[in-house]
Every structure is written in structure tokens, then in C-alpha cells.
Structure 1
Amino acid sequence: MPLLAPRLPPGYRSQPATADEVGAIHALVADSAREADSGRQTDAGAVAAVFARPGLDPESDTVLVRDESGRLAAWAWVNRYSEVAVHPDHRGRGLGAALLDWAGERALEAGSKGIVQTVPDSDTGTVALVRSRGYAPLVTEWLLEFPVSDEPSVPDTPSGIVVRPLRGGDEPAVHLLVQDAFDEWQERRQSYAEWAEHTVNRPTFAGDLSPLAFREGQLVGAVLCLDMCESGEGYVEQIAVRQDQRGRGIARLLLSHVFHAFHQAGRHSCTLWTHSDTGALDLYLRVGMTVRHSSTVFRKELRG
């Protein structure tokens, strides 16, 4: 059966992506994010994690688009969720629309009942495009930041709580904590291998800047951080507190340790993304974070 290919404007050709091209894809995604003013932190590890998604077949679920000179112009992938990135030099030529249509067709072919795209609210052209293709808003995402140029304070640790950085061997327990904590709103639990590709296996992962909280020797909270050296920022990839330990200030305590650690590392700010389904926005605002950017997650129902 021939592979489903996007219907591209003249002068472009497509091919499936391979993991060998992660570096070039990351450069394109970073350029696209800057052009769209999305505020989204990206690194090569985030692109590599796409190829580790369970069930994703690079041959049929990814697309690279090149121009007549062979330069990379766009890329897209689909695996329940989908992402489309177009290089700034090639925007406005119909590539985004072609890849958006391809993603929907491929998802339908694979048996998906719906497909999701995330679009920066500031990118009004792309918002209009996804709406024109039948996508409807699902949740709102916010990028929050905390300046750490001045040394942040760290509150006293409550009695019975021990805080220390992540060490080798902690990863399986942290994975279980995160999956249990995220069960309330995530679509499915991630296997350890998939979770690790998005977190502890990424080159930018900073275990020494990722604090864990223990009560009576049991892991009750964790913050997993990336050190985005190129941007001079720290980034919180995941934060989780065991359900029976919430409301006791553990998340606030761990975030204060994170802010202080990134100050000590010479970063100028710390950022994280959250969305409206988590109900965590008020927590981040209370610890002094402010909203830098917002995005909308759109979903389209698919029918044969």
C-alpha cells in the first residue's frame, strides 16, 4: 500500500523523516517557534522523543518537506497528537495547510477518532487555519516564568519532609509518582521508556537541579528540570505531588528549591507550561510566576 503523501505546493517534495535528522529538525522547529513567538522551549531531545512514541512509524507518521534546493522547509508528525512546523522563510505558501490536511488524513487512516494540534494564541494566522479545518478549542496552555536574577528565598522545610536532588536509581520511583499524579487528566499512562525519553534521557535534563521530596523515606513529590543553556533559562518539564500529600505546601517548597538552584547556576529565569485541565495555574501565580505566553490546544473529531 503506497504511503499517504501530503499534497504540496509546486516546488516542494516530501519524504518520511528519520531519527538521523533530529538535529536539522530541531533547528527548523526552533526557528518556527521564534517566528510564531510561541515561547515554547525546544531542544533536540524533544524531537528525538517523538521517534520514541509508542506506535509511531516514522515511515508513515512523519513528513519532511524540502524545497527545490533540498533545504528543509517543514516537518510534521502524527500519533494521536500532531505537530506541524514550517520554517519562517516558507510561511504563507500553503505548506502548513497541506501538512495539517495530511495529518488529519493519516490519523483517520490509522483509526484515530480525533486529532490534536497546539497553536500559540499570538499566531492568529495559524489559529484561523486550524479553525477552518474543523478544529475546536479543547484547553488553554500558559507559559509561566519566574525571574531568578536575584537570589530567591527558600522556606524552611516542614517537619518530616526531606528534600534532595534526584540521584541515579531514583528514576523508576519518580516515573511511578508522575504517572499516578497525572492519571487525573492525561489520556494514558506512559511506559518508563517513553517517559524517560521525554525527561531523564534528554541531554538537557538536569538531575542536580531536580529536587525530590520524601516523607518517612517515601517519595511524595518531584520536579524534573531541563537546563536550557542556550536561552539562559531553567525549565520545569514535570512537577508531581502524591495525591494524599497535596495541600501541604510540597509543590511550593520544591519550586522554591528549583528557583534557587537555577539562580545558583547563573540562569536569569525559570519557566514552565501548564494547562487549564490541571488546575495548577493559581499555584504558580501564588509562588510569584507570571504568564509570558498562552496557547490553545485544538481538537478535531475524525469521521470516515
Structure 2
Amino acid sequence: MSAPDESDHPALPGLPAGLTARPLTMDDAAAVHAVIAAEEVVDLGEAELTLEDVVADWQRPSYDVAASTVGVLDGDRLVAYADLSAPDVAYTAVHPDHQGRGIGTALARWVQARARAAGSTRVGTQVPEGSAADRLLADLGYEVRWTAWDLELPEGAEVRARALPEGYALRDATEADREAAWTLVEDAFLEWSERERMSLADFGARVWDRPGAEPWNLRLLVHATGSGSGEEVVGATHVYLAGDAAYVARIAVRPDHRGRGLAPAMLVDAFGQAREHGAARCYLSTDTRAGARGLYEKVGMVVCSTWIHRSTTL
């Protein structure tokens, strides 16, 4: 692949001597993941983000990898990167061997410049609580906007089975269900998330076009219609495997069907499907905006890591 065009791509001043910077390409995804993983091992005890997560995000049709990223290199080795994933959302990582050298500050300035160019008035990122990145952003004046948690269903633990009410059923999504699933999930998440609606194509890049995706990864909760011969989609769960771990990335129930014990039954189904496909551990994430932590703890999940979303006004 040829080198990306660096025109209209903000520079990265302030790097230590001997380091260089350039826009990234899809060919850099594995190197980016390696940097993220090294940082997460220090901050969390193990790597959580997968290469498939990086690829799924970067392959969105609306996303321009070269225009939205910058990589920092020590010779040919990538040691840090920044990614403006959306006009107000950034991801960065600095390899632990290179932290404390001012690279993170240079990346923060690059992100702010890129976000301004994209028309944003605020930009933020989510970092492990108490991590080097968290401390740096606090020093740079980034404010805490919300707290997030990764929760784990301990190995061997079971979510208490709960039968679905009469008229409800769970099944794999088909291609014909995709638009309905996208609409339902986006409607639910936009009740509390301050962002633009994700396009169907971008949603698909992260769900059914995610590397390694299988039909069971997107499960639908359907409800029989009054005619008795049809059904409507009233809930959706997106779960995928990363090694021996399963991640429930999305779970949503239509507002007019909430309060009937459907979400716990959907979790039981998601974890059961994942274990049938080789998962030993099961995880999901939530934050203070959604107000769902209590629900997950009631079914036996426990907090395994805490994250802070920090942002700054541009």
C-alpha cells in the first residue's frame, strides 16, 4: 500500500528527538493493537481491546483512516498513536516503554487540532481510572464527564434463568432483520448518549461485518403480533468472542416492552450462546449515563475495571 497523502493532515510538534509521525493506514491496525494491548496490560492487568475491534472501527464507510489518525514511530516501530474516531471522540495509546516523554501531550494537542478542524467544540476520550493517561488528561485540564465500568460474569457463575413471558422468543438475526435491529439499538442508545445517529452502514461495520462475525452474534427478541402469524423486533443483543472471552457489546429493549424482565433473559441467552461457542468468561460495559449497572450486578456480574471519560472544550 502506498503512503497516505499528508496534505491537510495536522503536524505533530513536540515529539522527542529521534521519533517521527505519519498518518496511519489499515495495514497499521495490528501495530496499533499491539500498542494498546501493552498499555492495557499495565493499566488493567490484561489486554481487553482486540485487533478485530480496531479493524471494525476503521472499516466504517464514513471513516477516513489516514485523515483521522497519526502514528508515532521509533524507526520502523509504532510506539504511540491517536485516532479521532468521531468529531468529539478520540482514542490514544502510548507504549509503556515510551511514556513520560511528552508523547501523550503532543497527541492530545493533535487530537484537539483535528477535532476543531472537524467542527467540534468538545473532544473527549475514555481511559482507565488512575492510569497514566488519566493523570495526564487531568493535568491538561480535561474534565470528568462520566464513569464507566467493565463487568464480568465470574467463570463458572450462572445468571439465574428467567423464562420469557408468553408471546416472546429469541432467535438469530437474519439479513432481513438488520435495519430493524439497527433502528432499535440506536433509538435505545440515543436516549442517553450525546452523539449523532450512527448510519446503518457504520453500524454494520461494527456488527455483522466485524471480522469473524457469525449469525449467533446478533440475537433478536421478537414478540408475536396480534394477528398471531407475525412478529416484531422488540429487543436486540450483540455478543462476540475474543479468545475465550465473550463481550456483550450492545443490549437494548424497546421502551414499550421494558419492565417485564426481558433484559435478564436476553443476558442469559447471550451468555449461553457464547459458552456454547467456547467462551469461558463473559463481559459487558456500561456507564453512569445508562444507569444499568445495578441491573447487571443483580444478575451476578461484578465490576472488573473502572474507566473515566474526560473531555475538554475547544
* Same fold at TM > 0.5: yes
Q: Output one character per residue of 1:258-303: Cα deviation in whole Å (capped at 9) or x when no partner.
A: 122223333221101101101111111111111000101011001x
Q: Which residue of 2 aligns with 1:247?
A: 259
Task: Please state how far the C-alpha of 1:209 moved relative to its aligned partner.
Answer: 4.6
Q: Are 2:197 and 1:189 aligned?
A: yes
AA in 2 matched with 1:103: V
User: Cα–Cα, structure 1 residues 205 and 42, in superposed 2: closer, same or farther, change >3 Å?
Assistant: farther
User: How many percent of aligned residue pairs carry the same amino acid?
Assistant: 34
8 Å Cα contact 1:82-1:115 kept in structure 2:
yes
Q: Tell me, which stretches of 5 or more residues in structure 2 are unaligned?
A: 1-6, 225-230
Q: Are 2:67 and 1:60 aligned?
A: yes
Task: Please state how far the C-alpha of 1:170 moved relative to its aligned partner.
Answer: 2.3
Task: Please state how far the C-alpha of 1:40 moved relative to its aligned partner.
Answer: 6.5
Q: Which residue of 2 aligns with 1:89?
A: 97
8 Å Cα contact 2:56-2:211 kept in structure 1:
no
Which of the numbers 11, 20, 29 marks the counterpart of 1:13? 20
Bigger CA drift: 69-78 or 105-114? 105-114
Which of the numbers 73, 80, 85 marks the counterpart of 1:74? 80
Q: Output one character per residue of 1:31-84: Cα deviation in whole Å (capped at 9) or x when no partner.
A: 2222221767322232124434576443332101110x3111111112321111
Bigger CA drift: 235-244 or 17-26? 17-26
Task: Please state how far the C-alpha of 1:165 moved relative to its aligned partner.
Answer: 2.4
User: Cα–Cα, structure 1 residues 97 and 53, in superposed 2: closer, same or farther, change >3 Å?
Assistant: farther
User: Cα–Cα, structure 1 residues 248 and 121, in superposed 2: closer, same or farther, change >3 Å?
Assistant: same
Bigger CA drift: 107-116 or 257-266? 257-266
8 Å Cα contact 1:9-1:93 kept in structure 2:
yes
Q: Are 2:240 and 1:226 aligned?
A: yes
State how 1:88-127 maps to structure 2 within 5 Å: 88-123=96-131, 125-127=132-134
8 Å Cα contact 1:148-1:262 kept in structure 2:
no
AA in 2 matched with 1:246: R
Q: Which residue of 1 aligns with 2:146?
A: 139
Q: Which residue of 1 aligns with 2:227?
A: none
Bigger CA drift: 3-12 or 238-247? 3-12
8 Å Cα contact 2:221-2:236 kept in structure 1:
yes
Task: Count residues in correspondence.
Answer: 298
8 Å Cα contact 1:152-1:263 kept in structure 2:
no
User: Cα–Cα, structure 1 residues 266 and 49, in superposed 2: closer, same or farther, change >3 Å?
Assistant: closer
Q: Are 2:30 and 1:23 aligned?
A: yes
User: Cα–Cα, structure 1 residues 55 and 205, in superposed 2: closer, same or farther, change >3 Å?
Assistant: closer
Query: Secondary structure of 2:42's match?
Result: helix
**Alpha-carbon distance in 2 for matches of 1:219, 1:297:** 32
- What TM-score do the two structures reach when normalised by structure 1? 0.91
8 Å Cα contact 2:62-2:202 kept in structure 1:
no
Q: Which residue of 1 aligns with 2:287?
A: 275
User: Cα–Cα, structure 1 residues 289 and 151, in superposed 2: closer, same or farther, change >3 Å?
Assistant: closer
**Runs of 4+ deviating beyond 6 Å:** none
Q: Output one character per residue of 1:209-230: Cα deviation in whole Å (capped at 9) or x when no partner.
A: 543211111111111011112x
- What TM-score do the two structures reach when normalised by structure 2? 0.88
